[in-house]
């Protein structure tokens, strides 16, 4: 419990908010929130009203310097506050008095008031970020005449539904990215790196199988390849103008070692998806969430860093295991520490023994909407280089053998 702005705590008032049969205060979109407010007064108090407010909203906020726009001082910047807000539902109930009534004397004692509220089926998941948040709050206000109010509030968590089965064809579509790079002003043969995933849609507890092929026809070694599975939250302002900030949350990262020049190599990385919020670019208009697998290729003796991006959609209800190959099931079960998979229909559990994901596939009716891919980033298009003649320093060169380099090479 906390106190809001322009409020004042009181040592003579205690407040507690309890949710019925839900001590953790975790709900799904479309649920009904039931609970009880308990107020304990140690001495007689005068209130204009005792009100309970329940609301869900998204808010973004940050400060930035912008040009003042004055012709006399064109170089002067001023600090500007950017913000946005989106409300999903709200209710207010007065247990005692009203917002315009006369003050009432409330004698010492313990007072209990039940409350209820319906969460909209399209409410977005709770989120906290550097530039904004999506919150759901139960707030009790003891409103006093001519004085600061006593305010107590308790947050609760909402989780949205995102069923990948609403768009199985799109979720089963493979993701692919490729980059082609030559060195020394295009005089070397190309370095070609290709990354793929067998499908686009996943749920917590499943494994992203990333296949990487490095066809290094150049004489330049690849120092390493860094792989990141990350969530990107985009925060949008509405006032004074529309601007955006992005926050990156790395959920898994690893590094592949050196690949020598004039060599061909293939790698496979299995990334287990843990507990997280689903992808969302519809339910909330000012905080958007997407996922991607990013690969950064760092050649030796070159400042160029090659980036490949594979867009990933994370839902709460995964695709049936019968829709994707048995080899994929075997890899997922191995990553989860389970036994080998046998032929025939099987069900892959979407939870890990250590930390169950927060979005189980329960028996509740789905309230999801199909995913919209218009805003998803497109995988990096192949970049080609012009055909060049063999340079003289590459003619008749000996077969390349790996060697050690200094870290500063």
Distance CA 80, CA 47 (A): 39
In tens, the pLDDT along 155-168 reads 999 999 999 999 99
Q: CATH 2.60.40.640 region(s) of the chain? A: 13-159, 164-321
- Which CATH number among 2.40.50.180, 2.60.40.640, 2.40.110.10, 3.40.50.1820 corresponds to the domain 13-159? 2.60.40.640
User: Tell me, what's the pLDDT at 301?
Assistant: 78
Tell me the two tokens of residue 279.
């992808």
Tell me the two tokens of residue 239.
């006032």
User: Tell me, what's the pLDDT at 405?
Assistant: 39
247 has which bridge partners? Answer: 233
Query: Among 42, 37, 57, which Cα is nearest to 141's?
Result: 37
User: Tell me, what's the pLDDT at 324?
Assistant: 72
User: Tell me, what's the pLDDT at 71?
Assistant: 63
Tell me the two tokens of residue 266.
């293939």
pLDDT exceeds cutoff 80 at 368:
no
Residue 302 gets which letter from DSSP?
-
User: Tell me, what's the pLDDT at 366?
Assistant: 36
Look at residue 103 and give its three-state secondary structure.
coil
Kindly state the average pLDDT of the residues 386-407: 38
Q: What residue has token string 């697998």? A: 293
User: Tell me, what's the pLDDT at 103?
Assistant: 86
Q: 363 vs 86, which has greater pLDDT?
A: 86
pLDDT over 70 for what percent of the chain?
Answer: 75
User: Tell me, what's the pLDDT at 328?
Assistant: 63
φ, ψ for residue 313 (rounded to 5)? -110, 125
φ, ψ for residue 327 (rounded to 5)? -65, -35
User: Tell me, what's the pLDDT at 175?
Assistant: 96
User: Tell me, what's the pLDDT at 9?
Assistant: 64
Q: Is 175 exposed, middle or buried (0-12, 13-18, 19+ CB in 10 A)?
A: buried
pLDDT exceeds cutoff 50 at 8:
yes
- pTM to 2 decimals? 0.76
User: Domain 164-321: which topology?
Assistant: Immunoglobulin-like (2.60.40)
pLDDT exceeds cutoff 70 at 327:
no
Q: How confident is the model at residue 389 (pLDDT cuts 50, 70, 90)?
A: very low
CA 362 to chain CA mean position, Å:
22
Per the rule left: phi > 0, alpha: psi between -120 and 50, beta: everything else, 30 is left
Kindly state the average pLDDT of the residues 14-28: 95
Q: 8 vs 176, which has greater pLDDT?
A: 176
Residue 388 gets which letter from DSSP?
-
User: Tell me, what's the pLDDT at 89?
Assistant: 96
> Quick one: which H or E segment has residue 171?
helix 168-171
Distance CA 42, CA 13 (A): 6
In tens, the pLDDT along 230-265 reads 999 999 999 999 999 999 999 999 999 899 999 999
User: Tell me, what's the pLDDT at 406?
Assistant: 44
In tens, the pLDDT along 196-239 reads 999 999 999 999 999 999 999 999 999 999 999 999 999 999 99
In tens, the pLDDT along 61-79 reads 999 988 776 666 666 788 8
Kindly state the average pLDDT of the residues 275-288: 96
User: Tell me, what's the pLDDT at 184?
Assistant: 86
User: Tell me, what's the pLDDT at 189?
Assistant: 93
User: Tell me, what's the pLDDT at 72?
Assistant: 62
DSSP assignments along 196-260, one per residue? EES-SEE-TT-EEEEEEEEEE-SSSPEEEEEEEEEEEEEEE--BSS--EEEEEEEEEEEEE--B-
Distance CA 231, CA 247 (A): 8
165, 319 in Cβ contact below 8 A? yes
User: Tell me, what's the pLDDT at 407?
Assistant: 45
State which of 176-180, 181-185, 318-322 shows the largest mean pLDDT: 176-180
Distance CA 339, CA 325 (A): 17
User: Tell me, what's the pLDDT at 331?
Assistant: 65
Distance CA 59, CA 39 (A): 30
User: Tell me, what's the pLDDT at 251?
Assistant: 96
Residue count (the chain)? 409
Tell me the two tokens of residue 380.
């990096």
Query: Among 320, 315, 298, which Cα is nearest to 409's?
Result: 298
Q: Is 256 exposed, middle or buried (0-12, 13-18, 19+ CB in 10 A)?
A: middle
Per the rule left: phi > 0, alpha: psi between -120 and 50, beta: everything else, 399 is beta
Mean pLDDT, the chain, as a whole number? 82
């Amino acid at each position: 419990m906390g106190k809001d702005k322009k409020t004042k705590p009181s040592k003579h008032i205690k407040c507690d908010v309890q949710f019925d049969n839900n001590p953790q205060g975790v709900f799904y979109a479309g649920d009904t929130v039931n609970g009880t407010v308990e107020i304990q007064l140690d001495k007689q108090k005068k209130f204009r009203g005792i009100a309970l407010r329940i609301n869900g909203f998204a808010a973004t906020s940050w400060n930035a310097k912008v040009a003042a726009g004055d012709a006399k001082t064109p170089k002067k910047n001023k600090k500007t506050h950017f913000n946005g807000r989106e409300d999903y539902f709200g209710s207010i109930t007065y247990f005692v008095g009203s917002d315009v009534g006369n003050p009432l004397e409330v004698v010492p004692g313990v007072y209990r008031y039940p409350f209820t509220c319906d969460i909209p089926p399209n409410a977005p998941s709770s989120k906290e970020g550097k530039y904004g948040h999506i919150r759901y709050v139960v707030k009790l206000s003891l409103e006093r005449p001519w004085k600061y109010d006593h305010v107590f509030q308790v947050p609760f968590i909402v989780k949205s539904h995102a069923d990948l089965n609403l768009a199985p064809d799109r979720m089963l579509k493979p993701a692919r990215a490729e980059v082609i790079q030559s060195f020394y002003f295009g005089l070397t043969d190309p370095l070609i790196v290709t990354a793929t995933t067998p499908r686009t849609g996943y749920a917590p507890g499943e494994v992203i199988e990333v296949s990487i092929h490095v066809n290094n026809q150049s004489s330049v070694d690849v120092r390493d390849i860094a792989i990141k599975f990350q969530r990107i939250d985009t925060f949008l302002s509405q006032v004074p103008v529309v601007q955006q900030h992005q926050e990156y949350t790395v959920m898994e990262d690893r590094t592949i070692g050196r690949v020598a020049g004039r060599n061909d190599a293939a790698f496979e990385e299995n990334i287990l998806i843990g507990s997280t919020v689903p992808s969302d670019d519809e339910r909330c208009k000012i905080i958007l969430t997407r996922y991607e697998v990013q690969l950064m290729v760092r050649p030796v003796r070159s400042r160029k860093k090659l980036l490949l991006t594979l867009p990933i959609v994370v839902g709460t209800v995964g695709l049936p295991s019968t829709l994707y190959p048995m080899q994929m099931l075997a890899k997922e079960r191995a990553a989860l520490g389970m036994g080998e998979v046998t032929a025939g229909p099987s069900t892959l559990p979407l939870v890990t023994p250590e930390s169950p994901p927060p979005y189980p596939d329960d028996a509740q009716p789905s309230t999801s909407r199909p995913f919209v891919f218009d805003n998803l980033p497109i995988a990096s298009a192949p970049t080609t280089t012009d055909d060049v003649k063999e340079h003289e320093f590459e003619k008749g060169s000996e077969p390349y053998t790996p060697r050690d380099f200094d870290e500063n090479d």
